[in-house]
Amino acid sequence: MDFEKRLTEIADKVTVALDQLIPPAQGPEANLMRAMRHAALANGKRMRPFYVIETGAMFDADETSLLRTAAALECVHTYSLVHDDLPCMDDDDLRRGQPTVHKAFDEATAVLAGDALLTLAFKIVAGEDTHRDPAIRMRLTERLADAAGAKGMVGGQMIDMLEEESPRDLNTITRMQRLKTGALISYSVEAAGIIGGASEASRHALAGFAQDLGLAYQIADDLLDVTGNQETVGKTLRRDEAAGKANFVTLLGVEGAQERVRLLAAQAKQHLAIFRNKANILLQSVDYVLDRTR
């Protein structure tokens, strides 16, 4: 099946799931739910859900388990965007082609909507409907907390904020990105392996795949920040340049960064070899990342 069509299909499914999972806007706290929905139902690529669902399909994993886990992961990703966009963090006005939550509502609402989306993620993944075996749900919950927490995504965001004050080198940026974006991408394939009962060899291959993919994805993002069109991308571009922040492109140059993405993409594909043609759609997703850099 065509990759982009499949990506759109999954994005639509996840949006429908989130629409059902986020409480409707009722009662005096309705403002909170409106803000959560503003952020979560906006038009995102839903790459992390894509990797949960397509990786899980390789193991014939239960679709409801995958979809709920994907929705929970997207809640975590969305909350991180809402908080990252706050004036005291990256101070951004535009996200997913619409005003950020603190612009459309206010700062307090953005803080609380992020908090509520993070909490909801754990409610979803721990919920009975996610898997009949509570031990599996526990594993999914614990690993999500690892990926999202101080030694994962939030830790990476902290390094990102601090590094604004000091010069960055390639090692620091690589570590920062492995935590900030890599941890959730790794979780997406790991969770699929947990749900699908993947063998140790498969889990190992998936972990390697996710690590290379995550970094390739981030370098591609930095390239897009330099070469992209703001209207198409749907968020403010050339922010690193404006802030005088180093990133993969300022450190490696455009051509050096493109070369690095190609290398990482090739490595990522090699990890998938053991899955043979079952991994076709994941292989296509790597080409999609490559295409973004051109």
Residue from 8, 23, 280, 284 that binds a second copy (CB under 8 A)?
Answer: 23
Interface with a second copy: number of residues (CB under 8 A): 56
Write down the least CB distance from residue 75 to a second copy, Å.
11
> What DSSP state is assigned to residue 179?
I
* 195 near a second copy, rule: CB under 8 A: no
174-to-146, 150, 251, 277 alpha-carbon distances in Å: 19, 17, 11, 31
User: Judged by CB under 8 A, which stretch of 61-69, 133-141, 201-209, 279-287 contacts a second copy?
Assistant: 133-141
Q: By the 8 A CB rule, do 137 and 216 touch?
A: no
Candidates 275, 261, 269; CA nearest to 203 is 275
What are the distances in angstroms from CA 117 to CA 43, 124, 291?
Answer: 17, 10, 32
User: How many Cβ atoms sit within 10 Å of the Cβ of residue 242?
Assistant: 9
**Token pair recorded at residue 71:** 């929705």
> Is 263 a binder of a second copy (CB under 8 A)?
no
- Of 94, 104, 126, 274, the one binding a second copy (CB under 8 A) is 126
Binding mask 75-104 for a second copy (x = CB under 8 A): ----x---x--x-xx---------------
Q: What is the DSSP string of 12-52?
A: HHHHHHHHHHSPPS-STTHHHHHHHHHHHSS----HHHHHH
Task: Specify burial of residue 1 (Cβ count, 10 A radius: 0-12, 13-18, 19+).
Answer: exposed
The minimum distance between CB 142 and a second copy, in angstroms, equals: 5
Residue 174 contacts a second copy per CB under 8 A: no
> Residues 219 to 248: which contact a second copy by CB under 8 A?
none
Site of interaction with a second copy (CB under 8 A): 23, 27-29, 31-33, 36, 79, 83, 86, 88-89, 106-109, 111-112, 114-116, 118-120, 122-123, 126-128, 134-135, 137-138, 141-142, 144-146, 148-151, 154-159, 161-163, 172, 175-176, 179
